[in-house]
Amino acid sequence: MEVGDDWVICYPEYPNISCWSPPSTWAETLFINITLYSISVLTAVLNLLIIISVSVFRQLHTPTNILLLSLAVSDFLVGLLVMPVDALQRTQCWLFGDLFCSLFRFVSYIISSASVINMVLISVDRYVAICDPLHYTTRITVNRVKVCVCLVWFCTVVFNSVHFNLHLSQQQENNDPCYGLCPAVSDNTAADLQLVLHFIVPVSTIVVLYTRIFVVAVSQARAMRSHITTVTKQISVTKTAKKSELKAARTLGVLVVVFLMCFTPTYFVSMGGYDSMSYSTLYFIVYLYNFNSCLNPVIYALFYPWFRKTVKLIVSLQILQPGSCEANIL
């Protein structure tokens, strides 16, 4: 990262091994903290509402919603753990030691990896539901989805344990650039592997699946319009079919574009290196990466009518009444 002439040293008593932190006024620090911590709270609350909704109400115990639940858990942890610590690093030096830094990186890698894989599973679920609806109920069952979700979390823990050991070993070898930062330590092989498994493969899979879904959805809408308009109500049905096409286009477009907007900058920058970047640009890209966890509940849940109903039941505490889990919300 670029270091300005007016930056302040993190550990004045150890100038030879201390990192530097950009200066900021009291008002600027307060504004940044309020903004970033508000986003963190919003992310945690929105995803917690999804977790409660899907966990409590029996009508929502479907394969798709189980995947949404897993995604919400990972995004909830982002808002609860990752975002606050990243916000803390934005306004001051790292003061919690090497071990806590390694643990934080380990947890953040697990959460982000699980979130990405959950999005891929949701894409697969929607692909089978739209492109092969006759076999959806036999291929995608609740038990199979639960097994897949458990495997996702188990595999992410195992895979990211390598990064945790690497982080600890490099810290023990005193390869950290200085004291006062919590960098994402990784060698070239691990970085390339993470780039392929955590970005290239998931993004390619999601884009291909959603492109196929979009084509099939539009084709089905056109076929339905062509068939019905030959019978009756040509004008009204045509308008309805066009609205259906536009809705499918908007929904699928939002899913793909928002995901790419939040995730792509981090990996493109990592390929070019962080050293030439300014401090503010780096943390903007990092927080944009995490901000996707705040957008996921909006994209995947707020589009569903049942979410608004469950929120009303939760906020009004009607969820505490006997038999509330059997409420008709669909």
Select the more confidently predicted residue: 15 or 167.
Answer: 15
Task: Note the pTM of the prediction, 2 decimals.
Answer: 0.83
Collect contacts of 281-287 with beta carbons under 8 A, ≥24 apart: 282/1, 283/86, 283/89, 283/90, 286/86, 287/36, 287/39, 287/83, 287/86, 287/87, 287/90
pLDDT in tens, 222-262: 776 665 555 544 444 444 444 544 454 466 567 777 877 88
- Quote the pLDDT of residue 172: 57
- Quote the pLDDT of residue 245: 46
- Quote the pLDDT of residue 4: 55
Cα 254 from Cα 122, distance rounded (Å)? 15
pLDDT in tens, 164-223: 776 566 655 555 567 787 776 655 666 677 778 888 888 889 888 888 888 887 777 677
- Quote the pLDDT of residue 175: 53
Cβ burial of 204 (10 Å; 0-12, 13-18, 19+) is exposed
CATH placement of domain 8-186+275-326: 1.20.1070.10
Cα 185 from Cα 164, distance rounded (Å)? 9
Coil, strand or helix at 227: helix
Given a contact cutoff of 8 angstroms between Cβ atoms, the answer to whether 290 and 82 are in contact is yes
Proportion of the chain above pLDDT 70, given as a percent: 78
Measured N-to-C along each axis, helices 63-77 and 279-300 cross at an angle, to the nearest 10 degrees, of: 150
- Quote the pLDDT of residue 174: 53
- Quote the pLDDT of residue 151: 95
pLDDT of residue 148 exceeding 70, the answer is yes
Residue boundaries of the structural domains of the chain:
8-186+275-326
Read off the pLDDT band of 3 (50, 70, 90).
low
Most confident region among 32-36, 94-98, 267-271, 273-277 by mean pLDDT: 32-36
Given a contact cutoff of 8 angstroms between Cβ atoms, the answer to whether 262 and 292 are in contact is yes
The DSSP H or E segment spanning 31 is helix 26-56
Cα 24 from Cα 260, distance rounded (Å)? 32
Residues in the chain: 330
Mean pLDDT (the chain, rounded): 78
Euclidean distance between the first and the last CA atom of the chain, given in angstroms as a whole number:
51
- Quote the pLDDT of residue 242: 46
pLDDT in tens, 23-68: 777 787 888 889 889 999 999 999 999 999 999 999 889 898 899 8
Cα 46 from Cα 316, distance rounded (Å)? 16
**Residue 179 falls in which region: left (phi positive, over 0), alpha (psi -120 to 50) or beta:** beta
